[in-house]
């Protein structure tokens, strides 16, 4: 697969800094029952990387020492990690909001038949990919038969009470099936709600639109088809600086399956690690007194020496640190903006 990383490192994206971290986004591994064309982690059924129980315990130790409100579980299919129910139960005991980024079809797979009930019982919010309400588009992007399996899983979740009130949240994710920006999130949400209810009596809470990032499998496809420059130009032409204040990397740490930390999931896939922490936890400075650090405009290339492990952050305060940026960051600021929580605007 062609790699866009060498093209992304030198950038004119504006400098951005970390604020208070309230979300841990934890990648439980790259094992997945699907292999979608847009997948930015190149997940699939043959991947063997899975977070160990020891690393999960380090995540819980970090939660115990810091003011974390949300645990956002990603993969692969996070449910395929053998310690999935353990981490969910422990996080809920600690009062965290837990998000499961679910591909829906896993809820229909043999061995996972009781997973939907487990999620409902623990009041886990579900963020589920459904890249379109039309069957053909979903099957093109995610594989044959995926649309029908997703519809069946959504019906199962609705039966359990998901998507009908604020107590069991069911959000759907749309991402474009090609090299274009997502349409207006609110308008598309209305279309999804109408179509899914009229055709399948399916209900859900919110639609989140997410811009395709020019990295990993999608980036490789852009290069292979000679569309990379045009797509980057599209992202830059639609740059909106009003999105800078709500970028997800300001309040989130992304943790890979081995426990190494990044400013976001995209940087994780590009192996661009979070800068080394410089302040101990106790030394909380007023924002105005924060030390100015050199800009991270030229992204760091990861090696074991430069990567930071979560356990090194247990007693560190990273508020105010520079965020490692690259050309791909324009994917988060284009148009309505984009994050794991959908549009920013
Ligand atoms: S379901 Fe999600 S993690 Fe799995 S291959 Fe598709 S995009 Fe990747
Ligand atoms: S890709 Fe987006 S979320 Fe990640 S560092 Fe850049 S702006 Fe932040």
pLDDT at res. 298: 46
Residues 6+ apart with CB under 8 A from 272: 262, 263, 299, 300, 301, 302, 324, 326
Q: Which helix (H) or strand (E) segment is 51 a member of?
A: none
Confirm or reject: Cβ of 104 under 6 Å from ligand 1: no
Atom 3 of ligand 1: nearest residue by CA position: 76
| Structure token digits, residue 165 | 């009130």
Confirm or reject: Cβ of 249 under 6 Å from ligand 2: yes
- The upper half-sphere exposure of residue 283, i.e. CA atoms within 13 Å in the direction of its Cβ, equals 12
Domain ranges of the chain: 5-272+325-333
CATH superfamily of 5-272+325-333: Aldolase class I (3.20.20.70)
Interval 15-55: pLDDT, tens? 999 999 999 999 999 999 998 776 778 899 999 999 999 99
pLDDT at res. 130: 87
Q: Rounded to two decimals, what is the model's pTM?
A: 0.91
pLDDT at res. 301: 46
pLDDT at res. 305: 59
34 Cα–ligand 1 center, Å:
6
pLDDT at res. 282: 67
301 Cα–ligand 1 center, Å:
25
pLDDT at res. 314: 94
| Structure token digits, residue 311 | 């356990």
Residues in the chain, pLDDT under 70: 38, 282-305
285 Cα–ligand 2 center, Å:
24
């Amino acid at each position: 697969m062609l790699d866009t990383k060498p093209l992304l490192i030198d950038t004119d994206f504006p400098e951005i800094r970390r604020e208070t971290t309230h979300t841990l986004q934890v990648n439980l591994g790259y094992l997945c029952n699907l292999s979608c064309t847009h997948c930015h982690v190149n997940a699939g059924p043959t991947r063997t990387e899975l977070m160990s129980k020891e690393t999960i315990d380090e995540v819980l130790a970090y939660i115990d020492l810091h003011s974390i409100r949300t645990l956002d579980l990603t993969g692969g299919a996070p449910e395929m990690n053998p310690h999935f129910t353990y981490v969910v139960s422990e996080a809920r005991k600690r009062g965290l909001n837990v998000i499961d980024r679910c591909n829906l079809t896993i809820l229909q797979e043999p061995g996972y038949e009781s997973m939907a009930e487990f999620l409902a019982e623990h009041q886990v919010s579900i963020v589920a990919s459904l890249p379109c309400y039309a069957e053909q588009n979903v099957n093109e992007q995610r594989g044959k038969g995926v649309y029908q399996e997703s519809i069946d899983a959504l019906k199962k979740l609705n039966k359990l009470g998901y998507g009908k009130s604020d107590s069991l949240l069911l959000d759907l994710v749309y991402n474009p099936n090609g090299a274009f920006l997502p349409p207006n999130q609110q308008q598309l949400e209305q279309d999804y709600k109408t179509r899914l209810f009229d055709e399948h009596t399916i209900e859900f809470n919110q639609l989140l639109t997410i811009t395709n990032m020019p990295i990993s499998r999608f980036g490789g496809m852009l290069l292979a088809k000679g569309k990379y420059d045009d797509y980057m130009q599209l992202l830059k032409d639609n740059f909106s600086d009003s999105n800078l204040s709500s970028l997800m990397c300001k309040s989130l740490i992304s943790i890979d399956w081995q426990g190494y930390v990044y400013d976001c999931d995209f940087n994780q896939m590009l192996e661009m690690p979070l800068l080394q922490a410089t302040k101990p936890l106790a030394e909380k400075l007023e924002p105005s007194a924060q030390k100015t650090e050199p800009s991270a405009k030229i992204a760091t290339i990861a090696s074991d020496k430069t990567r930071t492990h979560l356990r090194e952050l247990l007693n560190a305060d990273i508020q105010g640190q520079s965020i490692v940026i690259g050309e791909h960051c324009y994917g988060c600021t284009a148009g309505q903006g984009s994050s794991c929580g959908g549009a920013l605007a």
